[in-house]
Structure 1
Amino acid sequence: MRLISCLLPLLFCLSTSLHAEPIRVGITEVPPFVMQNDAGEWEGISIDLWRQIAGNLELEYELVPMSFSDLLDGARTGSVDVAVGALTMTAEREAEFDFTHPFYQTGLAIGVPREDSPGILRSLGALLSWQFLSLVAGLALLLLLVGSLLWLVERRRNTEQFGGTPAQGIGASFWWAAVTMTTVGYGDKAPVTLAGRLIALVWMFAGLIMVASFTAAITSALTVSNLQRQINGPRDLPGFTVATVADTASAEYLTEQRIDQARFPDLTSAMRAVAADEADAVVYDRPLMQHRNRELGDQRLDILSNTFSEQLYAFALPSGSQLRGPLAQEVLRVTESAEWQSLLDRYLGRR
């Protein structure tokens, strides 16, 4: 059996050498696994792995760039002999075409808008928000209304406290309404008429409710502003609009979890939509999102540290392809070598 295992790649090379046409290798740009450098040459984790395997098996091939959907169709219909990229192994795809052994294991991650402001600045921002300022303006208008009503009934019989010009009288009544509502009650001004005291009695009880409501509004604004973020993991995603890429494992995950999603043709568009507040978060494969995030500049997102829904990357081939056995064996041989970790560190950084 060991002899057969060793001779299998050799027999495969002899059989493929009889074919005049090179192997068609479909690729789609998915940095850092497949990408094009400034010189127009293809490189990346998957490309370097493929070149090493093809060199070991002495295969002649041509790289055929195509879109992600065309790449899947090519593996499904056999228009390409091998699909190279960051293809996730799933049961549905396994039923349509074959996979080699996986060469990379990762998981889905969540990207959310960045929060650069310190807590004190977020609190000040909440206090200066339009909603909070409109609440203060409404309260001031109510104080002015109550004060004006008291001035109307007190201005003739209580000229010492609410007399003078209309502006002076209303100003004094506004002050009385404010200190009465807050239960401070300086005692410097008080109504003397029956109507004025009835207004004061009603306003004192109403003031208790107003103060409680106003305090709750301030507390709510400060609490929400000081939350680090509303999405801290996959359990927080329901109820939000989540961006992802169509026809991917991440889109399938969101569909299974019944999470409202916005689908985009590529990862960059999905991440920019989150930065522009067109979506609340983005879910995609962690290494791909980390690499794209470095290219977004001011539109960078915060990538949450936890991963979920394990993803396994592998090469895809048409069902029944004779390439599967030799390629799968070479994938194991390369990924078990010391050079493989060096290759990952070169593209992903030392982990």
Structure 2
Amino acid sequence: MLFISLNLVRVQAQTVTSAASSTQASTPLSSRPLRVATRLIPPFVVQEQGSLTGFSTELWQSIAKQLKLKSKTSVSPTMPDLLAQVKSGRADLGIAAISITADRDKDFDFSQPIYDSGLQILVRDQSSGSNTMPGILTLLLSPIMLQFAGIILLLSLVMAHVVWFLERNHPQGIIENKAYFPGIFKALWWSAGTLGAQADEMPKSGVGRFIAIVWMFTGIAFVAYFTAAVTSSLTVQQLQGDIRGPDDLPGKRVATTQGSTSAQYLHGHGVQVQEVTQITQAYEALLKKQVDAVVFDAPVLLYYAAHEGSGKVQVIGSVFRKEDYGIIFQQNSPYRKSVNNALLALKENGTYDKLYNKWFGDKS
């Protein structure tokens, strides 16, 4: 009888344990929505009509669905801010385009890689800049050149009136007609020709000859200045076209974002870096010719060059400093293992490939 009673107790205990295990297995990872930190970085995180989308955004939504989790996403302005949110516990995890590095691994835990990436270089579209005529036209229409041309035009008018006044009453003067019209037109023609060292005749009066010599030297100086300006402009264009890879970056002005792996790489290779808070600011600096190139994550640059920057910029060279993206957690996070399992499941069932093809095209 005692033996039977002990067996009944054992069976009841196993039943209770099994029920408890079953209940625990069906319990969600968190009773509250997970706090997810991200940042806008197309095509990984894109804001459209007030809502977030993009490869990383949709990947996290698929992971959360797989784990039956609810989450609340907050957008950080910069990568350092995103990392700080996760490290301080204000966010449970971070996802965007976060590179897995040895330095970050000291302070955080990472998921399985979610994307294979690397750095690349963005420059202004050289197909138009390498053409000589557009470069010269840009120079001619620049504010400095227009101001200089205005001064020359004003001096030409003054010189024409001086010569007209001195020569109109001279018996053998170059201005045959004493009247203002059409005499001034002849004087203007002479003034323009002398400026280009193409004058057919010289004034007959002594003062007129002296003024003509001064004006001719002014013309020589103008031609020399114009030639030097054009040569300098075309040389700058040629130098910009010399950027073909990371080895060409030293000596160039390069923009990237603060706290990024690209900034770390550039500083480590002695490149003059202009750091900005948003990658869009780097694009703007490039288009305004404030920098010669932008170095950043390859997929981000390729997406910009194919969309907003189409016809204005181009990505050059091959990918360098290859790196992986991952989801970032606090160290010893209770969510990391479950997220990894869900991520692997999404890769196995084809969901990951569908998202990849949607945002980046067919892998093959």
- TM-score, normalised to structure 1's length? 0.66
Query: 2:96 is matched with which residue?
Result: 85
User: How far off its partner does 1:261 sit?
Assistant: 2.6
Does the CA contact (< 8 Å) of 2:38 and 2:82 recur in 1? yes
Please give the residue correspondences for 1:234-245 in structure 2 after superposition, counting only pairs within 5 Å: 235=248, 240=253, 242=255, 244=257
Q: Say what the alpha-carbon RMSD is for the aligned residues.
A: 4.9
Q: 1:204 to 1:310 in 2, by over 3 A?
A: same
User: How far off its partner does 1:98 sit?
Assistant: 1.6
Please give the residue correspondences for 1:143-292 in structure 2 after superposition, counting only pairs within 5 Å: 143-158=156-171, 161-165=174-178, 167=180, 168-186=182-200, 189-217=201-229, 223=234, 232=243, 235=248, 240=253, 242=255, 244=257, 247-250=259-262, 252=264, 257-264=271-278, 267=279, 270=281, 273-274=284-285, 277=288, 280=291, 283-291=295-303
Alignment partners' CA distance in 2, 1:26 and 1:347: 21
Mapped pair 1:64 → 2:81:
no
Q: 1:331 to 1:237 in 2, by over 3 A?
A: farther
Task: Return the letter of the residue paired with 2:191.
Answer: A
Task: Return the letter of the residue paired with 2:361.
Answer: G
Percent of counterpart pairs with the same letter?
25
The worse-fitting range, judged by mean Cα deviation, of 36-45 and 141-150 is 36-45
Does the CA contact (< 8 Å) of 1:242 and 1:282 recur in 2? yes
Q: 1:79 to 1:231 in 2, by over 3 A?
A: farther
Task: Return the letter of the residue paired with 2:96.
Answer: G
User: How far off its partner does 1:303 sit?
Assistant: 4.4
- TM-score, normalised to structure 2's length? 0.64
Q: Secondary structure at the match of 1:305?
A: strand
The worse-fitting range, judged by mean Cα deviation, of 89-98 and 341-350 is 341-350
Q: 1:14 to 1:41 in 2, by over 3 A?
A: farther
User: How far off its partner does 1:284 sit?
Assistant: 3.8
Please give the residue correspondences for 1:16-27 in structure 2 after superposition, counting only pairs within 5 Å: 17=25, 21-22=29-30, 24=34, 26-27=36-37
Mapped pair 1:312 → 2:320:
no
Q: Which runs of 5 or more residues in structure 2 are unaligned? A: 1-20
Query: 1:5 is matched with which residue?
Result: none
Alignment partners' CA distance in 1, 2:164 and 2:250: 55
Q: Which runs of 5 or more residues in structure 1 are unaligned? A: 1-12
Task: Return the letter of the residue paired with 2:204.
Answer: V
Alignment partners' CA distance in 2, 1:349 and 1:132: 46
The worse-fitting range, judged by mean Cα deviation, of 309-318 and 227-236 is 227-236
Does the CA contact (< 8 Å) of 1:243 and 1:274 recur in 2? no
Does the CA contact (< 8 Å) of 1:272 and 1:299 recur in 2? no
User: How far off its partner does 1:106 sit?
Assistant: 1.3
Q: Secondary structure at the match of 1:176?
A: helix
Q: Secondary structure at the match of 1:191?
A: coil
